[in-house]
Structure 1
Amino acid sequence: MAESKLEDQLANQARISGDGAPSDEDDDIVDPWNVAGKADTGIDYDKLIKRFGCERISPELIARLEKVTGQTAHPLLRRGMFFSHRDLLHIITRKEQNKPFYLYTGRGPSSRAMHVGHMVPFMFTKWLQDAFDVPLVIQLTDDEKFLWKNISIEESMMLARENAKDIISVGFDMEKTFIFSDFSYIGQCPQFYQNIALVSRSVTFNQARGCFGFGDSDCIGKIHFPSIQAAPCLATSFPHIFKNRKDIPCLIPCAIDQDPYFRMTRDVAPRLGYLKPALMHSTFFPALQGAQSKMSASDENSAIFVTDTAAQIKKKINKFAFSGGKASVEEHREFGGNCDIDVSYQYLRFFCPDDDKLEEIRQNYTSGKMLTGELKAILIAELQKMVADLQLRRAKITEQEVDEFMRPRPLKFNY
């Protein structure tokens, strides 16, 4: 089925199957608010690709991206953590033709401190920004968290600002990056709200219910919210950056649970005279307890936070990280460990920069040469260094710097 027909079908069917909820009892649950896979194997990403109607990122597509950017692909791309896409080829072609596009990603600020799983898409987005040399907009959906969580508007706005500091610590270029809070920006930019209204008028309640599974007891704010997350895909939402141009598309790096928002947007955008947004989907960063669910900011023992001390990181990994090792040292030496389910190894796939070192670890653990405690020690050292570096950079961020990142202003780019 052609993608456009699939999107029309998904946008018009009044059910959530294929948009997150399982079509049968054997499928995983993946939607913007819930992620749960089977306890033994975790999320089946091949099934998700089929259900969502996206495409796997092929080695050929990665090679073309490397050629057009002149950069070696990021480890998260080489190792398949960013694994599927929509229209990535169109974005690469635009780069080859020197036609403009921009990056768009976001964060729902539900906790004062982000965990390392939250940082993964921002680390990749930083690489994309540097490789493509394009502007970036980062949406902080403090309104979403007010609607879904039992927190006040004031608290959600405070969390957005605190999360902005974590995001800035990744190293984004201020001259090319605009970070905005929904609550604040809607009052600053009439065009943003106008685009929200245009999107909201283009989607019926039945279509929203079909995409997101809204029920009769959900507040109308939730039903309206997808139009707010869709609006940054329209370049005229940022007149200080793109003026009134409607011919500039965006590329959205995000976890695949956010895809329903943008399937809806891809259906609406052409009807409003805009190009469809392109996407790159990542796998979920697993909870310490295993790959059947993603890290959660609401469970401090499921995650490593960017505020954790070296001692806390060591304790959490040693105590909670699910092991793929055998029950005894003797058995492990004989049969080896299972890297596919071992959380410490899976985390190293995200954060170990050296491909050769990672492969050596895999071989040694699989063969039984390396024990679980040794594998955890390697991860602990890697995370302690990464988190310490983030903390050092964050400590230097001033309130004035946050204000400047969040001030509507022209960005620097070459088109």
Structure 2
Amino acid sequence: MSNATMENLTIQDEGDDFVDPWNVKSTSDKGVDYEKLIERFGSSRIDDELLERFEKVTGKAPHHLLRRGVFFSHRDMHVILDAVEKEKPFYLYTGRGPSSGSMHLGHLIPFMFTKWLQETFDVPLVIQLTDDEKFLWKDLKLEETKKLAYENAKDIIALGFDPDKTFIFSDFEFLGQCPAFYQNIARIQKCVTYNQVKGIFGFDDSTCIGKISFPAIQAAPSFSGSFPFIFGGKTDVLCLIPCAIDQDPYFRMTRDVAPRIKFRKPALLHSTFFPALQGAQTKMSASDPNSSIFLTDTPKQIKNKINKYAFSGGGATIEEHKEKGGNCDVDICYQYLTFFLEDDDKLAQIKKDYTSG
């Protein structure tokens, strides 16, 4: 791909929602316009036809996060389903950038879904903890980011992944232990110019070289050859990456590079953003404790945060709410239920009761 074409992979159009791997900001109370994002990023919507094929191939009803459009976009999911039908192997790859001592509810979404995918397909999973990224982007000491990675790993382990088929690694620890991983990073770095990463990620002349080279580190786990101790040196095992769509720029770059270094393109499943307590205009962020509910918060702390900060779609008064009903499109408590309440009938009843006042 030429520099000009790669630079067209930028992440914001003038006047639209702002979405990059580090920041999300919408101009609408309803949050990001995901249809526009699909068009801008060039991905494909997860439609009824794909959900039906998913159920046919797996013999299971699609996960509620798929049914409700929380995971709404994909790249090459049909290639993964083709492989399953042909009994060809694939593996899962997801990750976490540890910037706080505890994960928050929004961080759970890709991991909850990934756990279901692992159970459904019975496949290996690699989980990258990008402590190096947080050292480069945040005002944190190197030792602090390593400690945060360790703490976040405990949150991830608690979700119950298959210990025999799950590999969790810190970049700071793993990079010096696995030559194959670093060799793939170098292969990727050789194929991507500064102008290209500048166009994709918005880097400028003041950006440190660590940030400029980091995308190759996040790209490398997309290739099975990075993990010879898992795949026995095979370099052609397909990879499926469940992630929030703000991470897509990394993997568009990866997919462009893959055929040039004779590897297979990773497939992706993209999720929407988990909204901040204050509303869907931005995502829940660990850097703003008042926007987030952390896994270590007590029931009392959670109740206080919801009562104090959660954006309501209800009427300004009880009388107005009874007359006009609530707006579930913007009500944060209802939005959270769409992520965590698995029973479709219960969710539909709550929506009916709330919107009718």
Query: In 2, Cα distance between the equivalents of 1:99 and 1:169?
Result: 30
Specify which of 30, 33, 41 is matched with residue 52 of structure 1. 41
Specify which of 4, 10, 24 is matched with residue 14 of structure 2. 24
For 2:260, the equivalent position in structure 1 comes to 271
Report the 3-state secondary structure (helix = DSSP H, G, I; strand = E; otherwise coil) of the residue aligned with 1:174: coil
For 2:317, the equivalent position in structure 1 comes to 328
Letter in 2 for 1:263: R
1:244-290 deviation per Cα after TM superposition (whole angstroms, max 9, x unaligned): 21211100000000000000000001111111000000000000000
Report the 3-state secondary structure (helix = DSSP H, G, I; strand = E; otherwise coil) of the residue aligned with 1:327: coil
For 1:231, the equivalent position in structure 2 comes to 220
Specify which of 270, 291, 300 is matched with residue 280 of structure 2. 291
After TM superposition, the structure 1 = structure 2 runs for residues 36-185 of structure 1, keeping only pairs within 5 Å, are: 36-185=25-174
Contact 2:9 2:249 (8 Å CA) reproduced:
no
Letter in 2 for 1:350: F
Contact 2:224 2:234 (8 Å CA) reproduced:
yes
For 1:404, the equivalent position in structure 2 comes to none
For 2:354, the equivalent position in structure 1 comes to 365
Aligned CA distance change for structure 1 residues 127 and 200 (closer, same or farther; 3 Å): same
For 1:343, the equivalent position in structure 2 comes to 332
1:188-245 deviation per Cα after TM superposition (whole angstroms, max 9, x unaligned): 1000000000000010111111111111000000000000000001111000001221
For 1:397, the equivalent position in structure 2 comes to none
Report the 3-state secondary structure (helix = DSSP H, G, I; strand = E; otherwise coil) of the residue aligned with 2:133: helix
Query: In 1, Cα distance between the equivalents of 2:174 and 2:258?
Result: 21
Letter in 2 for 1:324: G
Q: TM-score, normalised by structure 1?
A: 0.84
For 2:191, the equivalent position in structure 1 comes to 202
For 1:261, the equivalent position in structure 2 comes to 250
Please tell me whether residue 312 in structure 1 is matched to residue 292 in structure 2. Answer: no
Aligned CA distance change for structure 1 residues 263 and 171 (closer, same or farther; 3 Å): same
Query: In 2, Cα distance between the equivalents of 1:302 and 1:208?
Result: 30
Letter in 2 for 1:20: I
Query: In 1, Cα distance between the equivalents of 2:58 and 2:187?
Result: 35
Return 5+ residue gaps in structure 2 as ranges.
none
Aligned CA distance change for structure 1 residues 336 and 129 (closer, same or farther; 3 Å): same
Return 5+ residue gaps in structure 1 as ranges.
1-7, 369-415
Letter in 1 for 2:60: Q
Please tell me whether residue 189 in structure 1 is matched to residue 174 in structure 2. Answer: no
Letter in 1 for 2:76: D
Letter in 2 for 1:351: F
Letter in 1 for 2:14: D
Give the C-alpha shift of residue 41 in structure 1: 3.0
Query: In 2, Cα distance between the equivalents of 1:323 and 1:50?
Result: 30
Aligned CA distance change for structure 1 residues 282 and 14 (closer, same or farther; 3 Å): closer
Report the 3-state secondary structure (helix = DSSP H, G, I; strand = E; otherwise coil) of the residue aligned with 1:346: helix
Give the C-alpha shift of residue 334 in structure 1: 1.1
Give the C-alpha shift of residue 19 in structure 1: 2.9
Query: In 2, Cα distance between the equivalents of 1:73 and 1:280?
Result: 13
Contact 1:13 1:210 (8 Å CA) reproduced:
no
Query: In 2, Cα distance between the equivalents of 1:289 and 1:365?
Result: 19
Q: TM-score, normalised by structure 2?
A: 0.98
Letter in 1 for 2:86: Q
Give the C-alpha shift of residue 40 in structure 1: 2.7
Contact 2:65 2:71 (8 Å CA) reproduced:
yes
Give the C-alpha shift of residue 115 in structure 1: 0.2
Query: In 1, Cα distance between the equivalents of 2:21 and 2:179?
Result: 27
Please tell me whether residue 301 in structure 1 is matched to residue 290 in structure 2. Answer: yes
Contact 2:96 2:128 (8 Å CA) reproduced:
yes
Give the C-alpha shift of residue 167 in structure 1: 0.4
Give the C-alpha shift of residue 18 in structure 1: 4.9
Number of positions where the alignment pairs a residue of Structure 1 with one of Structure 2: 357
Report the 3-state secondary structure (helix = DSSP H, G, I; strand = E; otherwise coil) of the residue aligned with 2:14: coil
- Please provide the CA RMSD for this pair: 1.1
Letter in 1 for 2:160: G
Letter in 2 for 1:89: H
